[in-house]
Structure 1
Amino acid sequence: MSGHEESEECEVIAPVGAPPGLLEAFWRYDKALLGNDRPTLDELFMRGPHTIRGDGQALLVGHEAIAGFRSARARIPTRAVVQLHVQVIADDAALLMARTRDGDTTGLQTQLWRLDGDRWVVAAAHVSLPVAPKRIAPFDTTLWRVVGDPLAAATAPGPLEGIGVAVKDLFAVAGHAVGAGVPAWLAEQQPQRDSAPAVAALLDAGAHLVGIARTDEFAYSLAGTNAHYGTPPNPAAPGCVSGGSTSGPASAVALGQAAAGLGTDTAGSIRVPASYQGLVGLRTTHGAIGTDGVLPLARSFDTVGWLTRDVRTSAAVAGILLPGTEAVAVRRTVRLPEVEALARADVRDAFTAAVQGLTESGQLPPAEVVELPRDLLERWFAAFRTVQAWEAWQAHGSWITGHPGSLGADVAARFAQASEVGEEQAAAARELTAAAREQLGEWLSGSVLAIPSASGPAPARSASGEQIEAERAATLRMTCLAGLAGAPALSLPLLRSADGRPAGLCLLGAPGADHSLLTLAAGLEIAP
């Protein structure tokens, strides 16, 4: 095709061939367009009032209007034609469609050419605006460690079809390493060959994994702040911490980026972020779901749990991960005034009003006050923290000793204290936790215990370390009860602080009463 400037990279597709002179005219037009040769462009457009040109923003009618548009054109195209389709309509008419590329953007131009005497001219033209290739939006690295589309697909159809899951970075996910919120730890890990059974069960039930979400360092925190990766957002309380240590999954669910967040709860790591972000958070009965493939913190209290935006979705996940036990009715609602007193005044008032309303309406069984002396609560709490610290150091102390400076100041201080717990001290604490479990088991038998999920709403990100630690200390005295009892605990977004931040009302049931809690919760409503 001598006599024109056809691109060597252009693919010309003309099923019945191109009429003589048409392609030469097209490539002459293209060269003039790239060189802003207005006289040639005017020459190659049909004269008269009916010639048209459109570009998605404006429609120009008439040769003079089109010529006037070109005279004011500031941007000269730099694109190249990479594919040209020729459709012959008649002996004197042909439709040309050209695909163009300019760097990493693509465009499309369509032209109707007519034979005017012995020369081809454009009677109508349309130019599409350049379109950038579809890109995956940058993901929030304070929330996600890795994401996919999906990261792992469902392995079979099932009742959880369409449920996207954010997985806490403690669970084994096939093909990915476990990061535990610690960059130095992650750098030494190898990709997991198999997913943790809890993860695999969700995939087998039709769910898919959206991604692996952040956690506090080795899950030894309740704030959701990570010295290395930052703090995941809290859309329910902007400017406040997310709550931890299942921080990333909670934020993913609250933001609508996942329907469920799979995590762990040792001392409140599901319930606290649920409370701070207005979610439903279930800590399951200790041992009801295996923790194989889950990095431990304190095996005596570690449990698998999840966060959702509603009870129905939580119950659907429970139907897959928990044994198929039937819900058992409860006869009373236990109240512990000494525990309730740990809450901030406005949250305590909201909790008291909510429980009173729910019991008076019959949505919860009648309330009965049980005395838990403050000194006994303190002894139970000290024993819980001692066993937790001992087991946390047994799990990670050797690595931490060999990697000084790898942890943020708050978590490093926690592990430093844990390193000082002796075996005899831990054994004595275990005796007291066993006694606490027995006593709590008696109170929970046929009952539901209602307490605030946390001592207050989510602290501000600007809060001092001392303030956050004070909030943590008060909250742990509440949350440790479920760990001591080995009991299921369900945080429900039923409360508000005085300034409108969400807060949770937590229901504890007897060990094995997970489904009973969900059944009970499905019918709870707070009057406005």
Structure 2
Amino acid sequence: MTGPAPECLLEAFRAYEAALMADDVATLDELFAPGADTLRADGEGVLVGHDRIAEFRATRGGAPGRTLAEVHVRAVDQDSALVVAGTVLDRGGRGLQTQLWQRSADRPGHGGWRITAAHVSVSPPALDARVWRAVGDPLVPPSGDGPLTGQTVAVKDLYAVAGHAVGAGNPARLADAAPEPAHAGAVGRLLGAGAAVRGIARTDEFAYSLAGTNAHYGTPPNPAAPYRVPGGSSSGSASAVALGHATIGLGTDTGGSIRVPAAYQGLYGIRTTHGAVDRSGLLPLAADFDAVGWLTRSPALLAAVGDVLLPAGSSGGGDRLVFLPGLVDSAEPDVRSAVRGWLADAGATELGETLDDLDAWRAAFQTWQGFQAWQAHGPWLADRMDVLGPDVRSRFETAAAIDDDAAGRARALLDTARSRVLDLVGDRVLVLPSAPSVAPLAATGATPELRNATMRLTCLAALAGLPAVSLPVRTGDGLPAGVCLVAAPGRDRALLDLVQEDTRT
């Protein structure tokens, strides 16, 4: 230790360190100053306020084991001091913590010392296993030159990458799967156009989630909204792009799995017309809804990938933007305001129509999705349900109980819904929120109610097999949200052109 320490400061510091290693949340909360101005920062972002810090700490499961190597104190005055401590991590590598301590006579215990601001840094792992299942420099080199030369791809762990097994976000499935003999169709096209595969990115188990959490591998970070969920199920691909680890995130969208992470992380994303892009080598969730999609940080690259993967030409149609007030107003107030601001700037036309059956359509969508998911994965999962995380297991248990009659009724209602949605969209572009809320805090997660509210919006494009592009907007608090543009089948390129022309993002 260097530098004189004010009275009792080191005792308080050591009490903090001991509590941290013991995951003694109550003592840690006591040693962080109360109030809305207390700060804690690390490589993922800044937490502001004692309550936010306490919420984070209560759910993270403890800090990595470490040993103090050095402690330096610089007193500001008798009641304020800066502590800088170097640590050696049990797993290897070094860490550093910087803390501003302040003393108040009216605070009992620990000599009245409390942390008012803290910053923590540790040696980064060689592989962030929350984001990547496998990664290289590159993992797979391009097979040709073309319009995507120099670009890198994070491939969702549902697509075949030659020589690697498909794990689908589940370690038991990965252990049971054989290496793929050839690339998935979409992967091969990207490699042929000059892109390299940076790695295989994490997904929610079997892509059966919209949150982006994974019970086995953890939650990929959301750099655009720190300490919030990344959105799923293309979570790893989205986080890799938002972090700058890759320029293209190849994913899928069954019920919103491109559009939701795009909204939560401030990215551009497209769900393509159902069947427009080759799905060979893609592990299904619900074949009637599964669509190839991708995420980027710019609209130009989003379109460039479309030039490679989408069929040539377009089905025509206009670019008149329309919206239904009921859909926009179903979003939470901050997202609703951001979307309405975009609509006003874009000169979108309000439609007087309503979708009174939307909740029934959403329920039918989830029933048919579950029925198909069990058809696809039930034979393998039937005696292995314990390998699934709680949320996904619950969905598969529900799916397993759907009988042929219930599935048939759902399918019939979806046929009606598809016709209604196709008529509504026509040759126009329907605008709605990509998700009804900003990304939920990782400490609390997404509730079943939020999942249903999200599916209520995202199922419209999915049940009708329509292309949908999500583009980023910001709420009044600066958090990312998404505006979704939906058009008739085959109008993918028209949507990509429209987004490139937009100057509001």
Q: Shorter-chain-normalised TM-score: which range?
A: 0.7 to 0.9
Gaps of 5+ in 1: 1-135, 360-365
Q: How many angstroms does 1:499 deviate by?
A: 2.2
Partner of 2:454: 475
User: Within 5 Å, which residues of 2 pair with 1:479-498?
Assistant: 479-493=458-472, 495-498=473-476
Q: How many angstroms does 1:469 deviate by?
A: 2.4
> Which amino acid is 1:373 matched to?
L
Q: How many angstroms does 1:456 deviate by?
A: 0.6
> Which amino acid is 1:521 matched to?
V
- Say whether 1:514 aligns with 2:492: yes
- Say whether 1:428 aligns with 2:409: yes
Partner of 2:481: 503
Partner of 2:379: 398
> Which of residues 232, 235, 239 in structure 2 aligns to 1:247?
235
Q: Deviations over 1:191-222 (max 9, x none)?
A: 00001011001111111000000000000000
- Say whether 1:209 aligns with 2:191: no
| Partner-residue secondary structure (3-state), 2:394 | helix
Change (3 A) 1:322 1:373: closer
- Say whether 1:229 aligns with 2:229: no
Q: Is residue 314–residue 490 contact of structure 2 (8 Å, CA) maintained in 1?
A: no
| Partner-residue secondary structure (3-state), 1:416 | helix
- Say whether 1:388 aligns with 2:369: yes
Q: Is residue 223–residue 468 contact of structure 1 (8 Å, CA) maintained in 2?
A: no
Q: How many angstroms does 1:443 deviate by?
A: 1.7
Q: Which moved more, 1:423-432 or 1:255-264?
A: 423-432
Partner of 2:106: none
Q: Is residue 306–residue 493 contact of structure 2 (8 Å, CA) maintained in 1?
A: yes
Q: How many residues align?
A: 383
Partner of 2:83: none
Q: Is residue 425–residue 488 contact of structure 2 (8 Å, CA) maintained in 1?
A: yes
Report % sequence identity: 53
> Which amino acid is 2:439 matched to?
A
Tell me the distance in 1 between the aligned counterparts of 2:420 and 2:350.
16
User: Within 5 Å, which residues of 2 pair with 1:407-418?
Assistant: 407-418=388-399
Partner of 1:462: 443
- Say whether 1:371 aligns with 2:350: no
Change (3 A) 1:370 1:139: farther
Tell me the distance in 2 between the aligned counterparts of 1:247 and 1:212.
12
TM-score of the superposed pair, with normalisation by structure 1: 0.71
Q: Deviations over 1:448-493 (max 9, x none)?
A: 00000001111111115xx532221111100000011110000001
Tell me the distance in 2 between the aligned counterparts of 1:144 and 1:343.
32
> Which amino acid is 2:327 matched to?
V
> Which amino acid is 2:171 matched to?
P
Tell me the distance in 1 between the aligned counterparts of 2:167 and 2:136.
17
Q: How many angstroms does 1:330 deviate by?
A: 1.6
Q: How many angstroms does 1:328 deviate by?
A: 3.3
Partner of 1:295: 283
Partner of 1:55: none
Change (3 A) 1:516 1:473: same
Q: How many angstroms does 1:333 deviate by?
A: 2.0
Q: Deviations over 1:214-265 (max 9, x none)?
A: 0000000000000000000100001101100000000000011101000100
Q: Is residue 228–residue 441 contact of structure 2 (8 Å, CA) maintained in 1?
A: yes
- Say whether 1:526 aligns with 2:501: no
Q: Is residue 216–residue 244 contact of structure 1 (8 Å, CA) maintained in 2?
A: yes
Change (3 A) 1:316 1:349: same
Q: How many angstroms does 1:373 deviate by?
A: 3.4
> Which of residues 165, 187, 193 in structure 1 aligns to 2:181?
193
TM-score of the superposed pair, with normalisation by structure 2: 0.74
Tell me the distance in 2 between the aligned counterparts of 1:370 and 1:513.
24
Q: How many angstroms does 1:410 deviate by?
A: 0.6
- Say whether 1:154 aligns with 2:142: yes
CA RMSD across the alignment? 1.6
Tell me the distance in 1 between the aligned counterparts of 2:304 and 2:383.
43
Gaps of 5+ in 2: 1-123
Tell me the distance in 2 between the aligned counterparts of 1:279 and 1:387.
29
> Which amino acid is 2:216 matched to?
H
Tell me the distance in 2 between the aligned counterparts of 1:327 and 1:388.
28
Larger radius of gyration: 1
- Say whether 1:442 aligns with 2:430: no
